[in-house]
Amino acid sequence: MKRILFISLISFFTLTLVSGSDKVNSDGEKGENKVIYLNKDTFKELVFNYETNKEWKYNGNVPAILDFYADWCGPCRQVAPILDQLQKEYDGKIQVFKVNTDKEKELASVFGIRSLPTIVFIPLNGEPQAAMGFRPKADMEKMVTEILKVNK
């Protein structure tokens, strides 16, 4: 009985955290125009449930940029402020997601991440496309326009 109650409480809190229109950033702040840091569960909810879907199906309602990074990675630290700027400048037209590969080893393994940063551009329709390594802001904006089909 205690186990069922515990599982029910965990399910309730998990649904509370990932549902609704409010998005939560790494600092726990809510807002519509924030970079979202993902763990395995929020990844499956907001991006792609790789456990139940065999073919790619993006769960979002705006195109996305997915950054696989690590805190120790120099190029990752260089690209982070660019991604923050893009999130703000595109004002709800795209969503930037980040996955810390040191904390989310399963996600990194499932998606074959071997180079950091790996930045994945996810259009609403079609297949995602990845870019490895640091990219200057102008290159990132070009990829947003060409791959995600989004203009400022």
Q: Which of 16, 24, 21 is nearest to 97 (CA)?
A: 24
CB 141 within 8 A of CB 87: no
Positions marked active-site: 73, 76
Query: How far is CA 22 from each of CA 31, 64, 66, 95, rounded to the nearest angstrom?
Result: 6, 17, 19, 13
How far apart CA 48 and CA 107 sit, in angstroms, is 11
Cite the beta strand spans of the chain per DSSP E. Answer: 23-24, 30-31, 36-37, 64-69, 95-100, 118-122, 129-132
**Predicted model pTM:** 0.79
Pairing relation of β-strands 118-122 and 64-69? antiparallel
Residue ranges and CATH numbers for the domains of the chain are: 21-146 (3.40.30.10)
Instruction: Return per-residue pLDDT of the chain as tens, 152 residues.
Output: 333 333 332 333 323 233 333 344 444 344 568 999 999 999 999 999 999 999 999 999 999 999 999 999 999 999 999 999 999 999 999 999 999 999 999 999 999 999 999 999 999 999 999 999 999 999 999 999 999 999 98
